[in-house]
Homo-oligomer: A and B are copies of this chain.
């Protein structure tokens, strides 16, 4: 029994009506890239970490031989001028590896967000549309049809209902479950032809353009591609070892020694 725990490393920040931004790994890593770049460029401050037994049971090795256990991280940023809002940003190494874990992690996070007085949620994800020979669009989904009015002037495509079936994982559940806590949610889906393994900075950029307009924040996009290349190695590393670890866990349990003597080791039930 560990399930999901949030560890606050400093005093809880005192925030005024903050907006929650979620960007966890997923298709094209669009959310992870966009939210990570936002946090970095804003110099947002890390204040809490989330651990879960729904993440794979391993630690990641850094270049300096130090390890860290898989986790998500909470950052906050305080509005600098009128028209801006305080932010709580969630990024991280992993989403749940089992279906039930998504519910556990999202509900635990929503409990935490209530303590921070969060009433607005923006989640970021990638939408795999196969090959594409045009600029990616940003597709929008909302927890409440009323919200479309609020967000319609930011270049977001709100005609996705017929094209898109579902939103899987945290980006969807934060909207669907947050609604029952009175939180209003928007999901920004960046079109991408990428798989989870291939980070898509183009898609992340178009999402960031819409997001920063909504948040009334100016962001220098010039460093995005470089940052993605920097992140890319680390992200690939996580995803490689993750898929490798799963295969290892499975094959380890399935392997059969060649010298096994059937006569000596019989199954009993």
Residues of A within 8 A of B (CB): 1-3, 7, 26-27, 51, 53-54, 56-69, 96-104, 107, 125-130, 140-145, 148, 158-169, 171-173, 175-177, 180, 187, 189, 195-197, 236-237, 239-249, 252-257, 260, 262-269
Contact = CB atoms under 8 A, between A and B. Distances in A.
A59 B176 contact: yes
B97 A268 contact: no
Contacts of A260: 240, 244
Contact of A255 (B142, B175, B197): B197
Nearest to A148: B65
Nearest to A162: B63
Contacts of A99: 53, 56-57, 97-98, 249
Given A99-B97, A248-B267, A269-B26, A166 B253 contact: no
A65 B158 CA distance: 6
B161 A64 contact: yes
A165 B240 contact: yes
> Closest 8 interchain pairs by CB?
A69-B176, A26-B269, A57-B102, A53-B103, A27-B269, A59-B172, A63-B161, A165-B241
11 contacts: A27-B269, A51-B177, A56-B168, A57-B169, A65-B142, A65-B160, A67-B142, A165-B237, A168-B268, A171-B268, A237-B265
A143 B66 contact: yes
